């Protein structure tokens, strides 16, 4: 996951919080000298190791339901990485050799790949850059010295900004094009859930994030690196491209291209169809247009444009126009949308209305902060409409 940066200045707040908690007896401070400034200095002077290997435990708790899976990882400073994991009974090997990323599904005996940006931040570098951004940008509320899996660590707790969200996808920039990839397959959409607590357990010697936890809005994501070894020699061949047992070549992923537009008129001119836009008075009070995104799914020969809205409380609305049906469209109950018949589906995340007209496919998503009627009224106001 990759949280958005904030710009809070926190050194003074750290002192205030520390003094307040000392007087209340709520925080056990570490030895003198360990502070947010000290952590910033340590990151500034610490280089990532040349290599790392570990067993990674990943635990996701959503509305009380806990799922756990384990990965084995080998990482190199030059960007090469190897991940072996098992999810839903399927064994997967993911290898990055510096120019291509390969996905080997051992159960299906298939290998797929896509070209990556060789100048992009490596897995190992990213493990250091994210904690450093936290320390530079977030308010630190507590620091203590403890141990995790035999490592002496600093446990650092942060108070993220109120608009921080838990995101389970990453954007990949390849030349002029941008792609989005899910971090894992999940039926639970966590992108709109706000984070209210971030914790890091940093190895005191190497500053490696041995453990990382982020929580809020009924979700908690926790990652722990166990049996961690740094700067140890790695076996030859770990980062060689995987091959299917039958010797077949890797199939190349066809990734969607994403373009961001400044206005609906610009999106309308760029898309191969007229973009549906709701009337302003059909939108809830306080909602503003936040982003206009055009996705081209090359393997589906499909384009979609999404207008994303949000209010000051973080409640979201999305209106999408597409010239093809989505592969993973939701179901729902029949409902009238103008002269068309659509479906209305309810989830914990919100309500989604879908309908089609004259060869185009439309959807309206209204977050859980809105009544289901909101999606219908917005859909009926969208122009053009059947």
Across all residues in the chain, what is the average pLDDT? 79
Q: Which helix (H) or strand (E) holds 212?
A: strand 209-216
Region of residue 237 (left: phi > 0; alpha: psi -120 to 50; beta: else): left
What's the CA gap between 212 and 216, in Å, rounded?
Answer: 14
**116: confidence class by pLDDT, cuts 50, 70, 90:** confident
> 48-65 pLDDT, tens per residue?
999 999 999 999 888 788
Q: CB within 8 A of 50, min separation 6: which ones?
A: 76, 77, 231
Residue-wise DSSP of 326-355? -TT----EEEEETTEEEEEEE-SSEEEEEE
pLDDT of residue 84: 94
Distance of CA 128 to the CA centre of its chain: 17
Compare 159 and 153 and report the one with higher pLDDT.
153
pLDDT category of residue 185 using cuts at 50, 70 and 90: very low
Euclidean distance between CA atoms 199 and 197, whole angstroms: 7
Tell me the pLDDT band of 327, cut-offs 50, 70 and 90: low
Each residue of 1-11: pLDDT tens digit?
333 333 332 22
């306080």: which residue's tokens? 286
Which DSSP symbol is given to 43? H
Do 246 and 108 form a contact (C-beta atoms < 8 A)? no
Rounded CA separation 318/352 (Å): 9
Confidence class of residue 299 from pLDDT cuts 50, 70 and 90? confident
User: Mean pLDDT across the stretch 250-263?
Assistant: 82
| Distance separating alpha carbons of residues 49 and 124, to the nearest angstrom | 8
d(CA 371, CA 260): 29
Rounded CA Rg of the chain? 23
At residue 31, what are phi and psi to the nearest 5 degrees?
-60, 150
> CA separation (Å) from 76 to 47, 145, 179, 224?
13, 28, 24, 19
Residue 318 has pLDDT above 70, yes or no: yes
Query: Length of the chain in residues, anyone?
Result: 386
pLDDT tens-digit map of 333-361: 888 888 888 899 887 778 899 999 889 99
């Amino acid at each position: 996951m990759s949280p958005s940066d904030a710009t809070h200045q926190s050194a003074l707040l750290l002192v205030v919080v520390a003094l307040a908690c000392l007087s209340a007896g709520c925080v056990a401070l570490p030895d003198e000298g360990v502070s947010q400034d000290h952590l910033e200095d340590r990151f500034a002077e610490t280089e990532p190791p040349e290599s790392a290997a570990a067993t990674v435990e990943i635990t996701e708790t959503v509305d009380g339901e806990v799922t756990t899976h384990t990965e084995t990882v080998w990482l190199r400073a030059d960007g090469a990485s190897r991940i072996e994991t098992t999810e839903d009974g399927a064994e997967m090997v993911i290898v990055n050799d510096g120019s291509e990323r390969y996905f080997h599904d051992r159960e299906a005996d298939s290998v797929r790949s896509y070209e990556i940006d060789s100048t992009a931040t490596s897995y190992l570098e990213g493990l250091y850059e994210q904690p450093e951004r936290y320390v530079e940008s977030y308010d630190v509320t507590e620091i203590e010295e403890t141990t995790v899996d035999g490592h002496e660590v600093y446990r650092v707790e942060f108070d993220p900004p109120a608009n921080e969200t838990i995101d389970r996808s990453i954007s990949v920039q390849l030349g002029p094009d941008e792609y989005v990839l899910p971090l894992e397959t999940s039926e639970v959409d966590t992108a709109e859930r706000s984070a209210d607590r971030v914790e890091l357990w940093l190895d005191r010697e190497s500053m490696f994030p041995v453990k990382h936890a982020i929580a809020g809005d009924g979700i908690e994501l926790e990652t722990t690196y166990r049996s961690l070894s740094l700067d140890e020699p790695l076996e030859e061949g770990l980062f060689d491209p995987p091959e299917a047992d039958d010797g077949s070549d890797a199939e190349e992923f066809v990734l969607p291209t994403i373009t961001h537009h400044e206005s609906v008129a610009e999106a309308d001119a760029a898309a191969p169809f007229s973009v549906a836009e709701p009337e302003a008075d059909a939108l809830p009070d306080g909602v503003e247009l936040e982003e206009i995104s055009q996705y081209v799914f090359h393997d589906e020969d499909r384009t979609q444009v999404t207008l994303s809205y949000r209010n000051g409380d973080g409640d979201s609305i999305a209106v999408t126009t597409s010239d093809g049906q989505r592969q993973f469209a939701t179901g729902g109950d029949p409902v009238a949308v103008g002269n068309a018949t659509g479906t209305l589906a309810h989830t914990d995340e919100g309500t989604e209305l879908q309908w089609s007209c004259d060869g185009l496919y439309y959807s309206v998503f209204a977050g859980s902060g809105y009544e289901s009627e909101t999606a219908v009224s917005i859909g009926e106001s969208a122009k053009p409409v059947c």
